[in-house]
Amino acid sequence: MTDPTLEREALEAGVREPPQVDGFDPGATEVRRLCTVLVGPTWLALDVDMVDEITKLHDSVTSVPGAPDYVPGIMVLRGRPLALLDLRRYLELPDSRDEDMEDRVVVVSVPDMRVGCICDRVGGIERVLESRLRVPDAVQGKRLTPHVDKMFEHEGGLAFIVDLPSLLNAAKT
């Protein structure tokens, strides 16, 4: 079932309409709903059920003393603290942003943790048939490799499906 809040906020954030997939059956259980995000040169795909919302990166980020460089700090989101994780820095991916790109924060929840993942761009919500998924031969970035199990063709390249609980637990301080 589509989350109207997420899709509305994704559209407000400038992402495109979810594309239709050939042979797509909305009731089919073998369809995965994924939120695609661009991190450096790499497309990642996050399970939509773990994505709460998409927002802009605020100016007032409170630094955390002693935190690694991939933790830029804590952002205020509706009066509550949200720890930030710079995915590009954590995954050690190269910076390939265009000048006009604005950082986006994808707020994700996994058991016991809610984190704002900073990415370069939000692609949209994809409905991907399981039959399109493949096991990757190689993944760019050694830090990304343990958290990826499947990939699919996306935007003329590849998108890697991220195991969010695994990644966030590895990145926590």
Partner 1 sequence: MSAMQLVTSWLGRVRWLIGLDLPRAVSVGHALGEGQGAAVDLSQVFGLTRPPLAARVVEVKVAARRLHLVLGEAASICAVSSSDLHAAPRSLRGAMAKLGLIGLCFSARESSFGYLLDRQRVASRVHA
Using CB under 8 A as the binding rule, whether residue 60 contacts partner 1 is answered as: yes
Instruction: Sketch the per residue contact string, 105 through 144, with partner 1: x for CB under 8 A, - otherwise.
Output: -------xxxx-----------------------------
Beta carbon nearer to partner 1, 27 or 66: 66
Which window, 38-46, 58-66, 118-126, 138-146, contacts partner 1 (CB under 8 A)?
58-66
Q: In what order do the strands lie in the sheet with 31-39?
A: 121-129, 31-39, 42-47, 157-162, 148-154
Q: Which residues contact 113 (CB under 8 A, 6 or more apart)?
A: 168, 169, 172
Cα separation values, 40 from 95, 118, 129, Å: 5, 11, 26
Beta carbon nearer to partner 1, 78 or 156: 78
Which window, 15-23, 75-83, 92-100, 130-138, contacts partner 1 (CB under 8 A)?
75-83
Beta carbon nearer to partner 1, 43 or 70: 70
Cα separation values, 36 from 4, 76, 120, 147, 151, Å: 17, 24, 11, 15, 11
Q: Phi, psi at residue 99, to the nearest 5°? A: -65, -30
Using CB under 8 A as the binding rule, whether residue 82 contacts partner 1 is answered as: yes
Rounded to whole angstroms, how far apart are CA atoms 161 and 20?
A: 19
Residue 56 in tokens: 């802009």
Using CB under 8 A as the binding rule, whether residue 71 contacts partner 1 is answered as: yes
Q: Which residue has the tokens 């399981």?
A: 130
Using CB under 8 A as the binding criterion, the count of chain residues that bind partner 1 stands at 26
Using CB under 8 A as the binding rule, whether residue 167 contacts partner 1 is answered as: no
Please tell me whether residue 169 adopts helix, strand or coil conformation. Answer: helix
Which window, 17-25, 26-34, 43-51, 82-90, contacts partner 1 (CB under 8 A)?
82-90
Residue 45 in tokens: 């795909």
Using CB under 8 A as the binding rule, whether residue 95 contacts partner 1 is answered as: no
By CB under 8 A, name the binding residues for partner 1.
Answer: 60-68, 71, 74, 76, 79-83, 85, 112-115, 168, 171-173
